[in-house]
Every structure is written in C-alpha cells, then in structure tokens.
Structure 1
Amino acid sequence: MADDKTVYMTEEGLEELKEELHRLRTEERSRIADEIAEARAKGDLSENAEYDAAKEEQGKLEARIAEIEDTIARARIVDESTVDDSKAYILSKVTVENVDTGDEQMFTLVSEQEADVSEGKISIESPIGQGLLGQEEGDEVEIDVPAGTVHFKITDISR
C-alpha cells in the first residue's frame, strides 16, 4: 500500500494524524492486548471466537498504524501564504455554480487524508477535486461523477 508520493497537508491535518497515531499506539494497543490475554485465559484457542476476533482487530489496528506512519513520513505542510489564489489548488476554497440547476456550492480542496464531505472538504484525488484543480474563476468544467456528468462554473476562488 505504501508508495513514495508526497502527501500535501495542512498543519492542522498533520497534527490530527499524529494525535490519532499516539492514541492508537497507546490506548488501543493496550486495550486489544488486554482482550487477547482475557481470551487466552479462557483456554483452548482453536475454538475461541473471542481470541480470533481480538487477533483480527489487532491486525487491523497495526495496519492503520502503519498507514498513518507512512502518511506522516510522506507529508509536506502546505504554506497557505504561498498558494496562488487565482487558480484552484490544494487549500483553495472554490465556489461553483451548477450550470444545470443554478445551485451554488463551496468546496475546500484538501489532501485525501483531510477530506470530509460533510464539511465541504473534498480530496484533490476525487473526480470533482481533479476537475477543479488548476482552473480559474469564470472557467466552466464538466466533471464525470458516479451519478453522471456535472457542469460547473467557477464563481470564486479564495483561501
């Protein structure tokens, strides 16, 4: 899963990842170790569903820890003051008008790790993020999304 692609993040997003990593390494590892010990104490491991579940959870935890460590190792903080706001780049707030419906939406372009659609933060790796990257105010773009094609006009770009 690991690759050598740089991950651009905000300082806040990187701090959140570091906090999650610390919590997983301390609290979660300890909790799962306790569950495994408790299940082991119940005897025969060959038919011990609690033991199997705890070991599976441990595997998922270690995979997530490795994923976060890899992301942190590849992370580069984006200095917002250097972002050109005449074009849509990472950390840009892009206001678009859906040409077909007249609806207006604002998206903040962020790294995949910081994406949260409920907050309007979309990944630069997503179809909409890819379609908006490098565009300027006034540009019209057609973007293929799972539900079909959307036609946006970019009405504003800011930081």
Structure 2
Amino acid sequence: MDRIPVTREGFQRFRDELDRLKRVERPAVILEIKEARSHGDLSENAEYHAAREKQGIIEAKIRDIENNLASSEIIDCPPGPKTRVIFGSTVKLEDLDTDEVKTYRIVGPFEADINKGLISVTSPIARALIGKGLDDDIVVEAPGKTKEYEILEIS
C-alpha cells in the first residue's frame, strides 16, 4: 500500500479528532439511542432513528480517520532557510494577471482545505510549485484557463 504524506500537525489533528469522536461523540450518541429506546415503539420513534443515523455517521468518520492514519507517513520539513518549495512549505504567491497575493501551505491530500490555505501536494498548483525557488514564475493549468504566479516567499 502506498503511504500518503501528512504533516506532523495534520497527523496530530487527525489523532485529536479521532480521540474526540471515540471519547465524546460515540458515548453521547449511545446515550441518545438508549434514551430514545425508552420512549417505546422503535418503528415510529423518530428520535431513535435520528440517533441511529447519527451513530452511523460517527462510526464512518472514525473508520475514515483510522484508515487515513494507518496509510499516512509523517513528513517533516528540514529546519533552516527554505530555498526551494517542498512538501510542508508555506508559499506566498502573486497572481501575475491580477496582482493578487495568496499564501498556501502544501500538505497531504487528507489535510487539504483551500479555505484555510492548505493545498494538497497532488493539486495542480502544488505540483507546479514543488522544486521551484524564490522569484521563480510558475504556470498552472486550471480547467479552462492558464494562471501564472511569481513566488514571493517560501517558509
């Protein structure tokens, strides 16, 4: 099985979420099911069915996180100045068409969240960035258009 790269911080976030689901969410939904059962006829008990559905969602999340953790490999960024973009780098870019400045951190696929500036190492922009240096220009092929950026900062 191929190992999926993950940052140390991302791995810890997954472990914390798994712990929360197992210690807080799972016991709480079990109590909800127990309470709903005490209301009688389960065939017409909306509370019971809602609690069972919630339990299924929680158990699916637990399985997903456990699978992600099992297939993950923690990749640490080497200390010191960053001269090239690597996995785990934070990169400040300028869109050469709009002069808009964006900052992204390159992380594993399970950690990616564009709303938080976390992009997957497998994304088109990350693939274009890996190995590039300060002041380099990159070209990103996006659906329907080509974007060009300049690397302003690497950390």
Q: Distance in 2 between matches of 1:151 and 1:46?
A: 59
* Pairing partner for 1:5 from 2, 5, 30: 2
> 52-61 vs 102-111, which deviates more?
102-111
Q: Distance in 1 between matches of 2:6 and 2:60?
A: 21
Q: Which residue of 2 aligns with 1:69?
A: 66
The runs of 5 or more residues in structure 2 that have no matched partner are none
Q: Which residue of 1 aligns with 2:25?
A: 28
Q: Which residue of 2 aligns with 1:40?
A: 37
Q: Distance in 2 between matches of 1:83 and 1:146?
A: 36
Residues matched between the structures, number: 155
Q: Distance in 2 between matches of 1:67 and 1:97?
A: 36
Q: Indicate the SS of the match to 1:67.
A: helix
| TM-score (normalizing by structure 2) | 0.84
Q: Which residue of 1 aligns with 2:88?
A: 91
CA RMSD of aligned residues (A): 2.4
Q: 1:7-156, aligned counterparts within 5 Å?
A: 7-81=4-78, 85-145=82-142, 148-156=145-153
Deviation, 1:47, is 1.8
Q: Indicate the SS of the match to 1:105.
A: strand
Q: Distance in 2 between matches of 1:132 and 1:113?
A: 19
Q: Deviations over 1:15-74 (max 9, x none)?
A: 221111111112111111111111111122122221111111111111110111111112
Deviation, 1:153, is 1.7
| TM-score (normalizing by structure 1) | 0.82
Retained in 2: the 8 A contact 1:7–1:75? yes
Percent of aligned positions that are identical:
38
Retained in 1: the 8 A contact 2:76–2:88? no
Q: Distance in 2 between matches of 1:13 and 1:135?
A: 24
The runs of 5 or more residues in structure 1 that have no matched partner are none
